[in-house]
Structure 1
């Protein structure tokens, strides 16, 4: 395809060296806040998350034949089961769950290559996806509130003040900033909250002072860092959620189709895009990072800058890998106190829940239909209440139970109840 006049750089056009550095760093900062926030919330190493997001993005670009300008960052959808697994199995369980998520993507990609993708809409219609996404956000509300108020086992007014400052400043950045700064309100909000926390005297900088400038991230590699064995509960808690993030993945592809005037579902094809996303998560699982997914933040940058070059996204991935080896940066990230994370989480988790509501509204789901009311109600209460399933040593989170139940109810319930006929 020839160069489009309405864009500055098309997908396969290369920027100059100076432009490449500036544009790539801009993309890195756009994804930076959310990508490192997920491991901070769960208790993983943020440096590893940066590394795995960079390597995962490069693999995605390779598998999609350099045809899609997308960035793979840490996924928020798996926070609930990862928090539970961190308390029981530690990272080995999370690793297996993360690899399982990637394998689900690869299996679905293989199925699509043989049978097409029409069946996905039947398994995951808006009435199932919307409530599940709402559960992902709302089930984390208590965690955000605890981070924002509790210093150990005691309520701390300073924590609440820092959390509220962080929240309100971030809202202000989202609403009133323009240009490049409008693309990184989460990062700016964390910085502002960190400064407030310093003023309130609740930041421990000893780890930053002792950290080396350059250090190898503490990768969690099976048979080297730990001896793995099968954690079926971890696998079955995380793997079903992959079907939810697939819908997000396909939604991002739709946006990119419109933005770049391409049809990525046909070329390189959904098989390649899902395989790229799944491979990125498998890589993350083998080095110690969380599952990854395509990032809307970077799609926003593409839309605003009109620079669609895949080389710029590849450059952002390289910078993320380089930054992951800066020891003081990782230590600085880890020194962010919980009320700052809590304040940011109020907004982020709420936005996730609101995104689920938007799916329901945009698709005009009719709640006058009893089947829709039954499906949504069951998913919301089981998921938010975390009605987990315990079978021997295996635990399935409320989110996983709600996801499976929602899919089954959607497949077996008739379109109309007998009283509606």
Structure 2
């Protein structure tokens, strides 16, 4: 592992102070910025001991699991993958390794804030729009079973290759935008109303998929929703005791807000256990999707060890219509990530990220999306907002901790049965989780209205029109497909079909055109507050430009000598 601190001999300091692998003392905690609003235990540049870093990194990893394992449940039906197919686990393992690699790249060479990267719901919306084309319609289950394993695998792999090609080419644009420094220019024309309609429609467009997964057993789905609401809202400020062992204090209890930190994980475990009991005592119908024995064969059919590798599903295919559709997800991903950079900097008590760091972050994210396209996860990657919230709860914002969490993701990706275990979660449980997730995404889009004067009839017209047509037009065209046969030129017709079937493209495009053409004052549009918040004026503060956390690292390698010193220190303390 590489130590990316700028010039401190932390290994020698640790030895002098007798710091163990799981020591709770930190040699740089006292040097935290006085502007840190949360008084983080570990700030961005702090260097916890190696053991503590991996322990806290595991905690960060667990906060992202809920968002990661839900992606295959949305994609696999559209890819024509059967519920009991071990390929579900293979895709999930690939998502783990890409998330880990992307996180290491972002925290080391990108914006360098403690942000976890992961597969994005935004890309899922575009992926599903592409796979909804008639040419990608899945055969019925009977035909899939009759195909045999090889033909059945080819059936879903050719769909995945189509998505891979679209992600790779569209992500090249993100790389160009980032590394050529075009992010600030683009964001000057992306107004709060445009962002509101686009992100809100991401959540609303996926509601039907959450409902479909939930409909298999509404009792289980509603139980999931209820528990998630109780843990994340009603019990969020309740302290829970966590036993922890350190070499200095031995076993002792610490207070954490466990319900606020792990609501998805706790909910999933409890409802999964309920489903186990209902299955064990045969209280569910044989075909009820809430039974846990329906997909249990996935674990048996999955190898213990499997290494994901580039182009494992075959060489990508490149279609103009799919590529242009994926550009929409790339643009939305850029907007979301920039917002997350500012949010993470605020919660870590750091200066506003300078424009060069933001450009670097977007360029690195684009490169990670290209890797995701090469590996084949069905989506691109963006920053995880859940991770930023976890920093506020745990008060751990160390870059090293996030990097250790990324290493854990990469290691677990090679254990096929770990991902296969997630694939056995009953679909009604996932449906309940997704219903809550999509509602939060929808509300998150609406929060951008705080910048806008919504008493203005102009703004009401822009927002209402973009949401109305973003929801209504795809629904109308879904039931009147003959309207798509416009030119007779297949690539163009497919492009029109995909774009007009993508709510976030329609809503975002209409909002962009209307808000930039209808007369209105900057105050009325919310542009002044928006630019001030996002630092788009081009005037960077001295703190921002001089802050070392955004500077590229000077590497010194984590050598065998340092590893030996840490082990020696550990053995000395244990005696």
Give TM-score scaled by structure 1 length: 0.87
Kindly report structure 1 stretches of 4+ aligned residues shifted beyond 6 Å: none
Q: Which residue of 2 aligns with 1:155?
A: none
Rg larger in structure: 2
Q: CA 1:194–1:382 in structure 2 vs 1: closer, same or farther (change >3 Å)?
A: farther
The structure 2 residue matched to 1:51, chosen from 97, 108, 125, is 97
- Deviation for aligned residue 1:310: 0.9
Deviation at 1:140, TM superposition (A): 1.3
Q: Is the 8 A contact 1:36 1:74 kept in 2?
A: no
Residue 195 of structure 2 aligns with which residue? Answer: 129
Candidates 518, 526, 541, aligned match of 1:413: 518
Task: Determine whether 1:41 maps to 2:74.
Answer: yes
Alpha-carbon distance, 1:319 to partner: 0.4
Which one has the bigger helix percentage? 1
Alpha carbons of structure 1 residues 377 and 62: separation in structure 2 relative to 1, 3 Å: same
Deviation string, structure 1 residues 297-339 (Cα, Å, up to 9, x no partner): 2112222333222111110101011111221111111122221
- 1:68 alignment counterpart: 113
Q: 1:19 aligns with which of 52, 60, 63?
A: 52
Q: Where in structure 1 are there 5+ consecutive unaligned residues?
A: 151-158, 417-421
Shift of 1:107: 2.3
Instruction: Say if 2:110 and 2:362, in contact at 8 Å, map to a contact too.
Output: no
Aligned residue pair count:
399
Q: Does 1:292 pair with 2:381?
A: yes
Most deviating of 342-351 and 253-262: 253-262
Structure 2: gaps spanning 5 or more residues: 1-5, 7-27, 34-38, 77-87, 137-157, 239-256, 280-290, 478-482, 485-491, 522-575
Q: Which of the numbers 398, 417, 420 marks the counterpart of 1:309?
A: 398
User: What secondary structure does 2:188 align onto?
Assistant: helix
Deviations 1:124-145 (A, max 9, x none): 1111111111111111111111
Match for residue 398 of structure 1?
502
Partner of 1:213: 304
**Rounded Cα–Cα distance in structure 2 between residues aligned with 1:24 and 1:4:** 20
Asked if the contact 1:139/1:386 (under 8 Å) is kept, the reply is no
Larger RCO (CA under 8 A, 6+ residues apart): 1
Residues 128-277 of structure 1: pairs in structure 2 closer than 5 A? 128-150=194-216, 159-175=217-233, 176-177=235-236, 178=238, 179-201=257-279, 202-203=291-292, 204=294, 205-217=296-308, 219=309, 221-222=310-311, 225-263=313-351, 265-266=353-354, 269-277=357-365
2: CA distance, partners of 1:317 / 1:188:
22
TM-score, normalized by length of structure 2? Answer: 0.65
- Are 2:4 and 1:4 equivalent residues in the alignment? no
Q: 1:166-225: per-residue Cα shift (whole Å, max 9, x none)?
A: 1111111112144244212122222223223333432221212333332234x5x44x63
Match of 1:359 in 2: 448
CA distance in 2, matches of 1:107, 1:69: 24
* Equivalent residues of 2:193, 2:452 under 8 A apart: no
Which of 420, 427, 430 in structure 2 is aligned with 1:338?
427
